[in-house]
Amino acid sequence: MGCCSTFKSFTFTILITILLWTSTTDHHTCNARKSWHTRTISTSLSKKKSTNHHHQHQHHHNGGKSKSKASSHKAPPSPKVKAPPAPPKVKTPLAPPIGKAPAAPPENDNGGGPVTDAAATYNVLDFGAKGDGSSDDTKAFEGAWAAACKVTGSKIIVPSPYKFLLGPITFSGPYCQHNIIFQIDGTIIAPSSFKPYGSGLFQWILFTKLVGLTIQGGGTVDGSGSIWWKDSRLNDPLDDELKLIIPINGTTKQTNNSSITNSLGGNMPSIKPTAIRFYGSFDVTVTGITIQNSPQCHLKFDNCVGVSVYNFHVSSPADSPNTDGIHLQNSKDVLIHTTDLSCGDDCVSIQTGCSNVYIHNVNCGPGHGISIGSLGKDNTKACVSNITVRDVMMHNTMNGVRIKTWQGGSGSVQNVQFSNIQVSEVQLPIVIDQFYCDKSTCKNQSSAVALSGINYERIRGTYTVKPVHFACSDSMPCTDVHLNGINLKPIQERYHLYDAFCWKTFGQLLSPAVPPVECLQVGKPSSSHVQADHDTC
């Protein structure tokens, strides 16, 4: 019994030892597993609430916002660093760098040219102009143009109240950018001597081979023309319609042919300059300014397409020779309106090569009216078509609406509309003259510029010499001449009065005319009067 008891005690002791050993081993194993699991969680979920100190730090760093969603991302600072800089880097190239356009602008192709610099203004005073009316400012204007030429939509400023003396000058393309504005608010004056013009120039101020140029402002361009008018030569052309105007007392006004002293710069050059001339240009505009006292034509467009003239003024004495207001030659798509023209020759002169010309709301006088021609001089070919002149006031002019051609010419004038013309004390309101001659004598020739489709509608007012004068070619009569609403009343002044006159003029009187125009022949001329194919336009 003692043995048995001893054995049991020993067995119990061994069991207790085994249990204790097993317990210790499990404890270490659990601790090892727990340690590995804890490291794994703390690495992947380091920002969860299980680590209170780290959570409190993140809570403070992010302004107290919950990180339950953000904790699945890597590091919150990364998006903040990358996202903000991106938008400005994308938008910056859209704006052109300031100041780079004038230095080296790319060529303008009307589709992808340089960006217009609205601030690109060039005041001629900043280029050395004095503006005192006596210093030569030509170089300053050339400098301003050289700078403006490089920038699309740039503007040259000619400020008021300065007066700028300018010699003969050219503002030229074709390498200038488009849509340049010439803002004339001051006064530009021409030299008061002939010397700067040498042996002669066709113009004082020339704009050539430009696109989209605009001359605007309220300033004045003065051509100092009086020295040129006084030195008129014996062979200066005279308006041939003077032969129709015979004073009652039998005397005619003589042209002053006195010469100018050398103090004005010597004898007059053989060519008198036009004040402003556009040559070979597209989409040009003249508005607001006044051109006065030009030596010859005031404003000329030669070989231009797309011309707009409005709110424009011409002012020269009635006796200033050959001072046309606006002269058009080889130009198309022309619009002239809301304009006052006072000069010594045609208010508007339309020469060969012109088509699609629209003139309306113009005041003309003094002057020689609105004329197509003269055409066909020296046996040349002339082509004019699609001309409309309407809503015009004419006061104290030599002619109203006129077409004039030379004998020996060829070509044609077609589709002309004169409508709603109000005349007041006009010597010859309606004129076609195919025997025009601005010399003392001209050779008789059979060929002529063909005239057809000429319409006169609502020509009304007063005349002082002859209401209608149609003198057409024997070999090439005028055809399709239509008159409607003609009401002209005579005023006896200092000239002989005459009845309406027609020669070789065929057409139709659509309503009774006052006074009667019974000389107009109805229908068509005989078939023998046919223009040769090589003469057609």
Residues 6+ positions from 221 with CB-CB distance below 8 Å: 184, 187, 188, 205, 275, 276, 289, 290, 291, 292
User: Catalytic: which of 178, 327, 368, 469?
Assistant: 368
Q: How far is CA 254 from CA 242, 247, 295, 364, 399, in A?
A: 12, 13, 19, 24, 20
Query: Dihedral of CA 190/191/196/201: which sign?
Result: positive
Contact 301, 278 (CB under 8 A): yes
Contact 334, 363 (CB under 8 A): no
Burial of 30 (0-12, 13-18, 19+ CB in 10 A): exposed
Contact 354, 330 (CB under 8 A): yes
Four-CA torsion 316, 329, 453, 411, nearest 10 degrees = 130
Residue 529 is among the residues annotated as catalytic for this protein: no
Cβ-count burial 350-363 (b if 16+ within 10 Å, e if not): bbbbbbebebbebb
Cβ-count burial 286-317 (b if 16+ within 10 Å, e if not): bebbbbbbbbbbbbbbbebbbbbbeebbbbbb
Which residues sit opposite 501 in a β-bridge? 469
Supply 310's token pair: 């409005």
The catalytic residues are 368
